[in-house]
Structure 1
Amino acid sequence: MSEPDRFEDDLLYALTRTGEGFRPDQADQPGMVAGGYQRGRRRWRHRSAAAVVGGAAALALVGTGAVYLTGSASPSGAGTVAAAPAASTGAGTGLTPASAGAGTPTPTATAAVTGDEVLSTFKALLPKGGITEASGRGTDDPQTKGTFASAELVFDDGAGKSRLMLGVQKHRPGQGQDRSCPELKPGQLDACSVTTLADGSKLYLSEGYEYPDHRADTKEWMASLTGPDGREINLSEWNSPQEKGAPDSRPNPPLTLDQLKVIVTDKSWDRIVAAVKPDGVDDAAQSTGLSLQDRQATLAKLLPAGVTVTKVDGNEVFTNVQLRQGGTSGSLVLRVQKLVQQPGDKATEKLFEGATVLPEGGLLKLYGPGTSDSKAMPMADVLRGDLRVMAAQGPTGKPLLSLDQLKAIATSPEWTLKR
C-alpha cells in the first residue's frame, strides 16, 4: 500500500469511526500480519472512504501528515542479533504474574530485534507442549519499518493443536485507544473484562468466537495490554490449528485467561517494546506552533459575516470546527501544518500536481463543485513553502461555506508559522 493510501485509510477511519468496537491499531502498515481482525477493519475503513469524501479530496485531506481530528486516534512500529531472552520468573508455568510493571516507560527505539528473538521470547513464556509452524517478525523487517513485531505458532499441550498469534506495537501519545467490553450477548462473548494494573496499564481479557454468527464454532480467547509507554501487546489463541478454515481440534483453547495475562504482562517484552518504533503520524513534528486558541482566533477573522465558531477541538495539525449561522449548524475541517517530508517522499508533490500558482508563489488545489473532482467534498488546499493550510467542509451539519469562502480562508496570509 502506498503512503497516500495508508494516510487515506486512517483519515477516513478517524472521520467515520463510531467508537463501537473498532480500535485504532495499525492495520495500515504494509505486510502486517495481525490476522483477520485487522484486515476486516481495513476493508471497513476503505468502504467508509467513498461515503465521506471521495477520490482526490480524501488524498488532499491526508496527504503527508496527521490524519486525526482529535487527540485520540485511531486510527489505528539492520538488525543486531542478541542472545535469546531468558524466561522471567514464573514463565512456562502460566501461574505467577511476575511482571505487573510491564507497562512502565521504556527507552526510545533501540537496536532492532529479529523475528527469531521475538519468537524466542514468546516460546519462553509458554507452558510445556509441542510447538510447530512457528515464525516471528522483528523490527528489522523492511515491510513494517520497525513499527511492528509478531510471533505465531501452533501449540499442543497434548489435548489438541491450537493456533497462537501475538503482536507488539507502540502508539504515540494520544493515538492509542483502550479496548472496552461490549454488552455480553449469548454466543458472542462468553467472558470479558478490562482492569487497570498497578502501573496504569489496561488489560483486556475475553473469551469469544472467531465468528459471532457461529458459522463455525471455533473459539478465540485473547488478551490485550495497553501501557502508559504506548505499548499494545495482543495475544489470541484458538481451539483449532488455524484461525479460520480448519476443524476444531479441542473444546477450548489451551491457555486460560490468567495464563494469557501472564504472557502479555511479562517484563521480557520491555526490550522488544523499546525496539519497536511508534506507529501513526508524528503530529508534534508537524505543528506550526499555533495552539487551538490561536487557530480559532485567526479563523474568526476570516469567516464571512454571520458565521460564528461554537466549538473547536483537535490536535497539533487538524482542527474540527463547529459553526453556526443563525439557527443552522455546520462544521469545518481546518488543517494548518508545517510540512515535514522524508527524503524521496513524493506524496505532497503528487497531491499538488496541476495546482494553480498563487501570486505570492504558493500552490492552490480546489475540490468540489466546478472543479475536476466535482463530486468531492468542497475543499481548498494551499501549500506555501513549508506551510500547508487546508479548509474543507466538515462532515456534520449543513454546508455553511462556499468553495470561494473556503479558498479565502486557506489562502489568507494570516496563517504563519510560529516556530
Structure 2
Amino acid sequence: MPLNEGHDGFEDELGAALRRTGDGFATEDSRGLVAGGLTRGRRQVRRRRATAVTCGVLAFGVVGVGGVYAGDLLGSGGSGKGADGSSVAASRSTGPESALAAVLKANTPAGTWTVEHSDSRSVTAVYEDGKGPAGLTVGLYRAGETEESAAGQVTCPDPLYVPHDACTSSKLPNGDRLMVLQGYEYPDRRADTKNWRAVLLTRDGFLVDASEYNAPSAKDSDVTRTDPPFSPAQMKTLVTAEGWRPLFKKLAVPEGKPTPGKDTPPPSVDGADVRATLRSLMPKGLTVVSSGGQEEEFAYVVVNDGKGKSLVQINVQNHMEDVAPRLKAAGTKLPDGRLVLVTEEPGEKGGAGVTAWTAESLTPSGFRVVISAFNTGAQHEAATRAKPALTKEQLREIALSPKWSKFETE
C-alpha cells in the first residue's frame, strides 16, 4: 500500500524506507499499499490515501523510519571484528563500511561482500559465494515509528495479496517475535526474482529487517542463482544476532510530541466487523469462497456466481475529508450531502486483462467507504471472466449502504 502526495520530512523518510526494504516485494501497486496496508500512523500520512484504491494485507511491507546510529563505528579499515566481537576475516568487502555492515558480515557464511550503500540506518550489499551474486539489505528501526502496528511487521501476509512459498511467524523464548518469509519480488511472477525476508521485532520495540535476493538487486537485475544464498535458518541467525543490540541504543528519538487533532490517528475501524458487514451485503446468487482482511479498516471476499472467481475488497475510513475535492469534481453529490463516484480502471498488479470497478462514497464529516471488484480472484493473476461478479450499480449500493454508518466517528 503509493505515498506520492505529501512532501514533509517524515513522509520522505517513509518513502525512502519503502524503497530500501522491499516495496516491490509487498506490491507493485503503491496506491493499494497506502489504502490497505497503512492502517495506523500520523494523520498526515493517512491523508495520502486520498486517491488510493483498496489493496490490503501489506502492512508488513513497510518498516519504520526511525534512524539508527548516526555515524560509522568501524571505518573501511576497521579491526576485522563485528560489533558483537565476531571475526569477519573470512569475508572481504569494497566500499564504505558501517557498524551495520560489520554485523551483517559477522553473522553470515564466508564469502565476498561488496557494500554498495551503508548509512546510519541501513546497509545494501552484494554477496558472492561462487554460486552467483546476490543482493541483501538490512535496516534497523524503532517499531514505534512505523506507520502500521509493529505486530503487522512480523505477521505472515495473506497469500491472496502477497504470494509466497513459505512463511513462519513465531514468538521466541526471550519474548521477541520473528517472521521468516520466502516470497517473490513481483507478485505476478513476471520475473523469477525471489525475495526471502526475515524480520525481528524485539520485546522492547525495535525492528531488524533483512531481505535477500537471487539476483544482485531487487529490481533491474537478471537472476543469477536459483535461490537467495542464505537459508531461512541463516536469515534467522542474522536478524537475531546480538551484534544489533548495541546499535539499538543509538537510534534517534523523534523530536516533539504528537499534536492532538493533527498527529493523533482517528479511532480505528474493526477489520473483522468490516468483513462481516461486507459479507452481509453480497447480492444473492454469489457464493463467498474465501474472505480475509486486516485488523483495521480493510476486508475482502472472493465470490463466485458460477462464472468464475471475483475478488471484492473494501476500505472503511474516518477523517478522509481530503478526498472531497476529487469526488466533487468527478462524482455526484446526493441530497444528504454525501459524494459518490464510480470508476472503471485496468488492474495494476500485473494480471493480464484485469479490470477493477470501484465505488466510493464520502460523507460531509469525512467518512469514506471505497469498494472494488475485479474480474479475477486475485489481482496478480490473469482475468478469469469478462467482468467482475458485481455490477457497478451493486457496488454503488454497497458503498452507500446505511450499514456502514455504525463505523462513522466524530
TM-score, length of structure 1 as denominator length? 0.48
TM-score, length of structure 2 as denominator length? 0.49
